Amino acid sequence: MNIFTETFAWLADPTHWSGPGGIPVRLLEHLQYSFLVLVIAAAIAVPVGLYIGHTGRGRVVAVAVAGALRALPTLGLLVLFALVAGSGLMPPVWALVILTVPPLLAGTYAGISSVDSNVVDAARAMGMKELQVLFGVEVPNGLLVMFGGIRTAVLQVIATVSVVAYLPLGGLGRYLFDGLVLQDFPRMLAGSLLIAALAIVVDLVLAAVQRLVVSPGLSARSKGGRKAATDLSAAAPAAAAVQGGTA
Amino acid sequence: MDWFLANSPMVFERAGQHLVLALVPMVLGLLISIPLAQVSRRHSALRQLVATVSSLLYTIPSLALFIILPPLLGTRILDPLNVIVALTIYAVALLVRAAMDAFDSVDDDLRQAAVAMGYKPAARFLQIDLPLSLPVMFAGLRVVSVSNISLVSVAALLGVGNLGMLFTDGLQRNFVTEVVVGIVAILLLAVVMDALLVILERVLTPWTRAGSVKSDAHARSGAEFIADAKVHAGAGS
């Protein structure tokens, strides 16, 4: 039998869709880990990113830290945390948080600082308080760039959570490593296809959310937005740090 | 440190494997991206298609791709070729957008001037478009370099030899030193590669430093911003 028909048969087998090691359970675990990591990382990265973007303070430090973290190998950090902090759910979650903060942080402050300074000054001149300027003007206008960082971060987390199964924990990555040990290639391929499908579906959902949330005026003048971005030399390292790469 | 000194031949061998697995895809990616970008820039439908497909491919997690490729390529799971093909796919996904933006960043007046001076299309491309697009292109290359070096280590989970082996081995033996050596070695590799790319860029683009230093830095980082904005849009959109 051909490997693809075997894999399809594996996926179609109802016993793989129920029980403690079934696909729905693994999928739920995968989403739970990802969600936990994203919530903790966002709680750290978003306020700091908003502060740096709004005030411009601490940008140099943030860029340096985010850049250094970007080069850290995901797998190395996961293994290090597992060895030093012991087994269980939280050590890998903290390792993942460290890897997720840079793209979120960079995306947030790149978004805020991509807003035309004339617009911000106009808001101040109209008598808006600083917080009103931030949440009423800078966040809505910077949202398109911020979404770039958010989507990168989410994809990176979903990809990296598959590696967590090696430690060993749950998630869809289990099928890859169990399959590897058992020399069961259809299981590995099925797991890989599920992970790839999950990443694509989540990204499509985020794209839909982005379309709903981001003002249509921003997307329509993306050409103009790019020109404005060219003038923002300060935002360049920020954007560089946004890119993390999927693990 | 003692462990590193005792095992340095093994670490250097792994680092060599790591470097090959990271660099070959980067070069292949560049060789594929430049003509692809050049062709698709001229046709808006093709450009849209290339942008969509590249962002879709970039969405697929590397661990999954390392496993999906063998049956498609007819290779075995341990074959380093899987890693090279997978990372080449990511490199193309990133670089084709960077290359399109890089060619867009070349002032059209300069192209027209070159045509007026009698440059043939091939000569114009090699002597005008390509050199002038280098600053934006290098911004993309640096992103690919860092992300490739980090991604290669994931392949160690499947048994493909590279510095990531220090992590899997360290976990099995419960040996923290080996893991720390692996992390430091990968960071060093990434930093050295980045520095080499920066130096190469400076050598290849002497004119970017000819003007006043300040406005020059300004223009360059602006160009890099565009490349990076596109690049992370590629990772997401």
User: What's the pTM value of the predicted model, to 2 decimals?
Assistant: 0.81
Q: Which residues of A touch B139 (CB under 8 A)?
A: 240
Query: Cβ separation of B228 and A243 shorter than 8 Å?
Result: yes
Report DSSP state, residue B160: -
Residues 6+ apart with CB under 8 A from A3: A185, A186, A189, B71
Q: Which residues contact A212 (CB under 8 A, 6 or more apart)?
A: none
- Percent of chain A scored above 90 by pLDDT? 26
Query: Which token pair is B120?
Result: 């043939």
- pLDDT tens digits for range A138-190: 988 888 889 888 988 898 899 889 888 888 788 899 998 888 888 888 898 99
| Per-residue model confidence (pLDDT) at position B211 | 60
Contact B71 A4 (CB under 8 A): yes
DSSP conformation class of A116: -
Nearby residues of A155 by Cβ (< 8 Å), 6 or more positions away:
A199, A202, A203, A246, B59, B61, B235, B236
Chain B residues touching residue A155 (CB < 8 angstroms): 59, 61, 235-236
pLDDT at residue number A243: 42
Total beta-carbon pairs less than 8 A apart between chain A and chain B: 208
Of the listed ranges A47-56, A218-227, A238-247, the one predicted with least confidence: A238-247
Name which residue leads in pLDDT, A246 or A53.
A53
Please measure the distance between the N-terminal and C-terminal CA atoms of chain B and give it in whole angstroms.
Answer: 44
Mean pLDDT of B83-90: 94
Dihedral pair phi/psi, residue B57, rounded to 5°: -65, -35
- Which residues on A lie below 8 Å from B217 (Cβ)? 233
Q: Which two tokens stand for residue B149?
A: 């070096």
Considering only CB atoms, which chain B residues are within 8 Å of A206? 236
ipTM of the complex: 0.78
Closest CA–CA distance from residue A73 to any residue of chain B (Å): 5
A3:B186 CB<8 A: no
The more confidently predicted of residues A224 and B38 is: B38
With CA atoms as reference, the chain B residue closest to A195 would be B64
Nearest neighbour of A203 by CB, restricted to B59, B158, B174: B59
Residue B213 pLDDT greater than 80, yes or no: no
Q: Tens of pLDDT along A192-220?
A: 999 999 999 999 999 999 989 888 877 65
Question: What's the pLDDT at A230?
Answer: 40
What pLDDT, on a 0 to 100 scale, did the predictor assign at position A1? 60
Q: Average pLDDT of chain B?
A: 84
Which residue type, as a one-letter code, is found at position B144?
A: V
To which residue do tokens 């921003």 refer?
Answer: A218
Contacts of residue A180, defined as CB under 8 A and 6 or more positions apart, other chains included, come to A188, B77, B158
